[in-house]
Structure 1
């Protein structure tokens, strides 16, 4: 019975941690934010945009939080850039200037539904390419990391 309980708890904790987002700040312990914290403690932002990925060329509604709001929540200062790391360890870096100029979000829902890992979730760093068509380029496409697991902040 103890083994079944232990296995169940391990499965539940593994499943729950899949919806956590780790943020690394220089010279600090990593900050782990739960999906509940992200949804309840950061302003919710949504936009509708098309993406060059997938079988559906129609626009979708992405919901999440802006990186600027996350940086403010974490009380960061003098940020130079932010790196985004996926579950498969793909990573990309975005300048603070682009974060301020285009206000991309870390989405956790698409068309009102939570994003599953198989659907590029649980988190997807994405630009609003409809409002800012200049971000609909290969340079910006490489920055839009899906299956996001970790964010690393670099200071100036």
Structure 2
């Protein structure tokens, strides 16, 4: 990735922070950590990582969409912060995101997806918190029904339930 490209992504995230009302300093989590962001992080709150508890994720602007998924027979309503807001709070910019689940499943996501799509870190499914046995507590999910291009194995495979960490490269 070129220095200019990194600069432009950082500028875009800084602008997003400014206009979304998100704080420039990431507070330390009070409750148990549910999401750790490592790699290219400029707003760490624990060593070199940006660590979020559930309350911190709930404090970010919340978004919802209802979408059909390959994992449920009926459309599901997901609610949570946009991935781009979570990344902005961590001061993260890069080329790729590796999403890591509780069972160590890993999927690669282009960083540009976080800017292009209304990709969310879902903390609620159909208005309820998600237990681990129901793909929770966090589910990184695309709004599959919003665009035909998202209804493909590529994007289904980029979704990550039981999300625990993001590595930014």
TM-score of the aligned structures, taking structure 1 as reference length: 0.79
Which of 92, 97, 100 is the equivalent residue of 2:112?
A: 97
Moved over 3 A (4+): none
2:146 is aligned with 1:131: yes
Within 5 Å, give how 1:1-156 maps onto structure 2: 17=32, 20-26=34-40, 29-40=48-59, 42-54=60-72, 57-77=73-93, 79-154=94-169
Q: Contact 2:68–2:144 at 8 Å: present in 1 too?
A: yes
Query: In the alignment, which residue of structure 1 is the partner of 2:18?
Result: none
- 8 A contact 2:40–2:92 mirrored in 1: no
Structure 2 spans left out of the alignment, 5+ residues: 1-30, 42-46
State the Cα distance separating 1:32 from its structure 2 match. Answer: 1.6
**Alpha-carbon distance, 1:76 to partner:** 2.7
The answer to whether the 8 Å contact 1:102/1:132 transfers is no
Q: Give the distance between the partners of 1:26 and 1:64, measured in 2 at CA.
A: 23
Count of residues in Structure 1 that have an aligned counterpart in Structure 2: 134
Give the root-mean-square deviation of aligned CA atoms: 1.6
- Deviation at 1:60? 1.2
Separation (CA, whole Å) in 2 of partners of 1:80 and 1:103: 18
